[in-house]
């Protein structure tokens, strides 16, 4: 079982490389909600995303004779594993589906990793990662359902509460549950009364639906502005599902239009470039889906977005996601 001690150990392991990122106020969101809202800027990590924390902790725990590592990734986890493997001097092969934006593929290759594009879902990409483990002896670094990865992500919760022990609510993007589960484990151990809300997009929200079903369920992956939140949680999920089920106080969904609006707001009001997955907490605040009762923090998880798409969003142009169209709307 994971404990707070594991998260403190992870912090010691990753501190030489991972950044203790800023926790900054958003005056705009404070005016909107009537409560102080703080942004944990994980987009300031060396790879531009929080995933570096879990990857560094997992790679640090491997035996010295490890020939290489592999993972299945929607982008930022692969970037983290590539960065950590390069620092360790071992081979990295990142398996991704065709739905992953090209900018994330390019970013991983730039870190010296091999990239395998397989199929149109994370399940398809996972099959290739499994083959690399079985046939080539690589060690898999799972994106979320792994004790070392979860402990690494949980260090975010430590940093938030050490700086602001008065936080009453944490708004955390929810996908496979490594981030939400790790933060919840740390935060609830320190402050059992803290409110933790997990947020997903309303198309293909695997963990949200799994919690309601009482067991992991499969979902259809579709293009989304919050593409980093895509993918299933694994039928044999060992850790992250139980952590999210037991420790999250609420789980909420936001629409693609609400994500679009929040990306605009974060850029124009706080001058932050962020992926769609980062803004699901802000989306819920803008849409009036959450009422706050005290100081609140949310995690800005990454900045590795398709800048052409991002520019179209912040300038109010229409966006097409597969067969789904978001009508353009200038920010006011």
Per-residue model confidence (pLDDT) at position 120: 84
Domains 4-48+146-326 and 51-140 share a fold: yes
Measure the CA–CA gap between 73 and 143, rounded to whole angstroms.
Answer: 7
Give the number of C-alpha atoms closer than 13 A to the C-alpha of residue 59, restricted to the C-beta side: 29
Strands 37-41 and 23-25 turn out to be: antiparallel
Higher pLDDT, 212 or 123: 212
Q: In the predicted model, is pLDDT for residue 142 greater than 80?
A: yes
- pLDDT for the residue numbered 286: 98
The confidence score (pLDDT) of residue 1 equals 84
The encoded tokens of residue 270 equal: 């706080």
List, for residues 177-226, the tens digit of each pLDDT value: 999 999 999 999 999 999 999 999 999 999 999 999 999 999 988 899 99
Predicted confidence at residue 73, as pLDDT, reads 84
The mean pLDDT of 23-42, rounded to a whole number, is 98
Record the pTM: 0.94
Please answer whether residues 46 and 66 qualify as being in contact, where contact means their C-beta atoms are separated by less than 8 angstroms.
no
Percentage, residues of the chain above pLDDT 70: 100
Average the pLDDT over 284-303 and give the result. Answer: 97
Q: Residue 74: pLDDT above 80?
A: no
Instruction: Please state the rounded mean pLDDT for residues 133-143.
Output: 95
Lowest-confidence range among 73-77, 320-324, 328-332? Answer: 73-77
The full set of domain ranges for the chain reads 4-48+146-326, 51-140
Query: Does the pLDDT at position 253 exceed 90?
Result: yes
Q: Which CATH class is domain 4-48+146-326?
A: alpha beta
Q: How confident is the model over 247-252, as a mean pLDDT? A: 98
Tokens 């992956």: give the residue.
221
Pull the structure tokens for residue 230: 């895509």
Confidence of residue 37 (pLDDT cuts 50, 70, 90): very high
pLDDT exceeds 80 at position 72:
yes
CB atoms within 10 A of CB 293: 10
Check pLDDT > 90 for residue 232.
Answer: no
What does the pLDDT average to over 227-246?
A: 93
Using a pLDDT cut of 90, give the percent of the chain over it.
86
Tell me what pLDDT residue 137 has: 95
Q: What is the mean pLDDT of the chain?
A: 95
Give pLDDT, residue 229: 92
* 89-96: average pLDDT: 95
> Looking at the domain covering 51-140, what would its CATH class be?
alpha beta
Distance from C-alpha of 27 to C-alpha of 41, rounded to nearest angstrom: 15
pLDDT at 289: 98
Residue 6 pLDDT exceeds 90: yes
- pLDDT of 302 reads 95
Burial state string for 184-216 with b = 16 or more CB within 10 A and e = fewer than 16? bbbbbbbbeebbbbbbbbebbbbbbbbbeeeeb
What is the three-class DSSP state of 163? helix
């Amino acid at each position: 079982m994971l404990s707070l001690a594991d998260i403190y150990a992870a912090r010691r392991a990753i501190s030489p490389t991972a950044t203790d990122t800023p926790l900054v106020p958003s005056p705009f969101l404070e005016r909107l909600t009537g409560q102080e809202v703080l942004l944990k800027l994980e987009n300031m990590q060396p790879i531009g995303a929080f995933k570096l924390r879990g990857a560094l902790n997992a790679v640090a725990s491997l035996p010295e004779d490890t020939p290489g590592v592999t993972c299945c990734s929607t982008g930022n986890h692969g970037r983290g594993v590539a960065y950590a493997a390069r620092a360790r001097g071992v081979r990295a092969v990142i398996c991704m589906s065709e739905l992953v934006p090209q900018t994330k593929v390019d970013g991983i290759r730039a870190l010296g990793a091999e990239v395998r594009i397989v199929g149109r879902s994370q399940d398809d990409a996972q099959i290739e990662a499994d083959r690399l483990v079985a046939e080539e002896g690589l060690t898999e670094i799972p994106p979320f359902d792994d004790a070392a990865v979860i402990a690494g992500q949980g260090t975010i919760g430590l940093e938030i509460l050490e700086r602001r022990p008065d936080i009453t609510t944490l708004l955390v993007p929810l996908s496979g549950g490594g981030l939400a589960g790790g933060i919840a484990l740390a935060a609830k151990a320190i402050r059992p009364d803290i409110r933790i809300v997990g947020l997903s997009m309303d198309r293909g929200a695997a963990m949200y639906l799994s919690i309601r079903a009482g067991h992991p369920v499969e979902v259809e992956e579709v293009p989304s502005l919050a593409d980093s939140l895509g993918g299933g949680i694994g039928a044999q999920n060992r850790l992250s599902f139980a952590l999210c089920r037991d420790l999250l106080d609420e789980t909420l969904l936001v629409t693609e239009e609400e994500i679009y609006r929040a990306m605009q707001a974060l850029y124009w009001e706080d001058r932050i470039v962020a992926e769609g997955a980062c803004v699901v907490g802000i989306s819920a605040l803008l849409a009036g889906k959450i009422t706050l009762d005290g100081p609140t923090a949310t995690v800005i998880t990454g900045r590795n977005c398709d800048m052409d798409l991002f520019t179209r969003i912040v300038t109010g142009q229409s966006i097409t996601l597969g067969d789904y169209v978001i009508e353009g709307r200038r920010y006011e």
